[in-house]
Amino acid sequence: MRHTIWAACLGLLAACASSGAVQQGSLPYELGGELYPFGDAVEIQSVASDSGDYSVGATLTVRGTYRLESRAGACLYLGVTNNTGRPHEVPKPEVDRSRADVKAGRGEFVLVAPIRSEGYPHVTFYDHETGQPFGGVYFGRDRWLQREVPTHYARSASPQTGTGQDS
């Protein structure tokens, strides 16, 4: 019996290791500004951090579901706005787990991204053709939470354009 339980635990550990999951603890969060002018949606189910908080140098893991109705596909991106005014390093595509190509319909996601500067965490849809955001949600706590949708974000996802581009 003990050997069976031990083997099951080892199997579970191996599965977690092969998925690329980072060992992290659950992190409290609130939802902030969100915008979905085209019927799309992102639902965050959990946020975790390898440091146990929102801090520069920590790595966030966000799990959730999405609904994409307005396009055949999009890029779903986990990022943290850069509020310092200083540039930060762009992740290398071969190790970048902060974005996922998603198809129309419903699905699940797991996105992982480092916090490179003070800012506001968000999960955002980006149009493949224009590179413009067209919907998403901010999340976090205290000074790490953008409570309102920024003006430039709302303009680029304006329902008047229907494409996610500025007129």
Domain ranges in the chain are 24-156
* Mean pLDDT of the 66-92 span: 82
CATH pick for 24-156 out of 2.70.50, 3.40.1130, 3.30.450, 1.10.20: 2.70.50
- The whole-angstrom separation of Cα 133 and Cα 34 is 12
pLDDT at residue 93 greater than cutoff 80: no
pLDDT at residue 12 greater than cutoff 60: no
What 3-state DSSP class applies to 36?
A: coil
Element (H, E) at 139: strand 133-140
- The whole-angstrom separation of Cα 159 and Cα 17 is 42
Enumerate the β-bridge partners of residue 137. 34, 123
Confidence at 86, pLDDT banded by 50, 70, 90: low
What was the pLDDT predicted at 90? Answer: 54
| Mean pLDDT (the chain, rounded) | 79
Which of residues 73 and 85 earns the better pLDDT score?
Answer: 73
Which of residues 150 and 54 earns the better pLDDT score?
Answer: 54
pLDDT at residue 1 greater than cutoff 70: no
pTM greater than the 0.85 cutoff: no
Q: How many other CB atoms sit within 10 Å of the CB of residue 84? A: 12
What was the pLDDT predicted at 57? Answer: 92
